[in-house]
Amino acid sequence: MNAQSLDNPNNFFESKVLGHPAGLFVLFFTEMWERFSYYGMRALLVLFLTSSIIGDNPGWGWPRAHALAIYGSYTGLAYLTPILGGYIADKIIGYRWAVLVGALIMTLGHLSMAMEFHHAFMYLGLGLLVIGNGFFKPNMTSIIAQMYKKHQEKKDGAYTIFYMGVNAGAFLGMLLCGYIGENPNWGWSYGFGLAGVFMFIGMLQFYFTQNIFGNIGLKPIKDKEEDFSETPEESTRNPFSSFDLGIIGLLSVIGLAWIINDPVSKITSFNLFNFKIGGVEGSNFAILIALALFIFILIKRIAQYTPVLRDKMIAVIILAFITIFFWASFEQAGGSMTIFAKDYTQRILTGDSKIIFNVVNTLITIVPLAIISYVLMRLFAKTFGKYALGNIILASGFVIIWVIVIYMLKQQYAEVKSEVPATWFGILNSLFIISCAPIVSKLWESKYNPSATFKNGFGMILLGIGFAALAYGASSIPQGAAVASVSMVWLVLAYFFHTLGELFISPVGLSYVSKLVPGRMIAIMFGIWYLAIAIGNKIAGTMGGMIDEITSKYSMSTFFLIFTFIPVGLGLIIMMLTPVLKKLMHGVK
């Protein structure tokens, strides 16, 4: 690191790691530990809830529909609270304090879940994770948006590299928390607790290295501050009226009540919407009212902006609408696809099959971990002299990771036969992202970079192809079967195509939001984007909970074909809308 970059920490591009500012990789590793904790816990949640209350590693013995209801509500709320967290950061505490507060609350949430023997601690833990995530998630991406404010051409690549950190954490979290949690020698509590340990490490690492971001995130962005990303047409403010805030408040209350009531009404006898209006069930009536209010306030707000900004916001909303259906399908990974892996996939391996799996598992574990460790070393070379303590804390996390990985692999080689953990298949998504993200990042920076609509369209079609592979693989499962032994290859293919679809849609979506809206609206608009993801996640839990009903009436193939035709159809539609979206974006690429 040269003297100029040390004296002026806002010169981010003076000191680079792999072509990007060193600060990006501080965020990379902070997000990695947070995603380790999130996905490590998520991999275990449905399995823990549905596992028998008797046995070597007892769970709660819930029906699948009940477990997927709470799974959908949890993941939905985890993406809903960033709206409030983004607003608080923008107006009150700034991005960096929001990240730290969120990390601390999530650490407490994971530790509470580790005491899973009592229902109250599990529910408290899920609640703390939802709140903490609301502070943490939108403000990490907001810091990146500010770092690259004057380097718009490198944003797509930066967000894709950041997305590698997301998936590196998801990979390690599902692999290690899944292994520890599913292993009767350890158990669910240790799996949930391990997630909390690494969330704590991530918090400390960020705290002791945060000065690398210069002035970014220290205080909220004030309206009077100059924002070079705005054009004169975009600079007119549009404050929320009391009427607007009242509608938003009512909408929030109805939405939150519906999301929480869904699992509560299944798990207990309490049902907040236990009524009918005009023959419509109370829960359906409530969500229709919430939808109507949301559309009303959205149209009202957009109509009040200047034409250019209005067009750009409409473009964001169209992309967000596609995102809802993407996540409604993609998030079957933590629900119905995990159930498919547990109960319908051949996971017992012996002889040559066991040896092959052990070798493959060793390679896909060691190689990505070695690559991430190499990135860590490159970051050390640039930042250790100035941020030694933060780097030491970061290194300690990697030491723990390597110890657990070596222990896991040693145990697997020593076993006479291997039972592939159901959570193991979840790591394939992250593995494929770590492998493919650099290639896709380079593609977005080349002359072959397609428009936003084609990225979204291709992504949806690839997602549908993945479910088509599952539908074909499940074609041999008899109608209504509770268990089966389908080849693992179909899950592998599904995760591969789902990952390619994700790379075309998710990180690029974050980049387009930051390009299309003024800087003063960044955190709030990221919150709106996460609202779309929240709706998709809740739909994923609701649809996934219908797996038993659909397979008993029709077949497992029919269940997966639903998630084939809808994404492919939407992918074709969004590509046909390319001329309209280009006009709405006003030259943003």
Asked whether residue 23 carries a pLDDT value surpassing 80, the answer given is no
CB 484 within 8 Å of CB 344: yes
Mean pLDDT value across residues 572-588: 87
- Answer yes or no: is pLDDT of 6 > 80: no
Q: What is the mean pLDDT of residues 79-96?
A: 83
Strands, E assignment, 418-463 = 418-419
pTM here? 0.81
List all residues 6 or more positions away from 253 whose beta carbon is below 8 Å from its beta carbon: none
Whether pLDDT at 236 is above 50? yes
Question: What CA–CA distances, in Å, run from 70 to 297, 301, 310, 343, 381?
Answer: 29, 33, 37, 20, 44
Does the pLDDT at position 4 exceed 70?
Answer: no
Average pLDDT in the 199-207 region?
93
Are 129 and 106 in contact by the 8 Å Cβ rule? The answer is yes
Tokens of 563: 């998630």
CB 365 within 8 A of CB 175: yes
Distance CA 491, CA 469 (A): 8
Number of Cβ within 10 Å of residue 410's Cβ equals: 9
| Mean pLDDT value of segment 20-31 | 83
Half-sphere exposure of 548 (CA within 13 A, CB side): 11
Q: What is the model's pLDDT at position 521? A: 67
Q: Stretch 150-174: mean pLDDT, rounded? A: 78
pLDDT at 268: 85
pLDDT score at 496:
95
What pLDDT digit, counting tens, does each position of 104-134 carry?
999 999 999 998 778 889 999 999 999 999 8
Most confident of the following: 202-206, 219-223, 346-350: 202-206
Are residues 311 and 586 in contact, defined by beta-carbon separation less than 8 angstroms?
Answer: yes
pLDDT value of residue 438: 76
Interhelix angle 119-147/22-50, rounded to 10 degrees, is 160
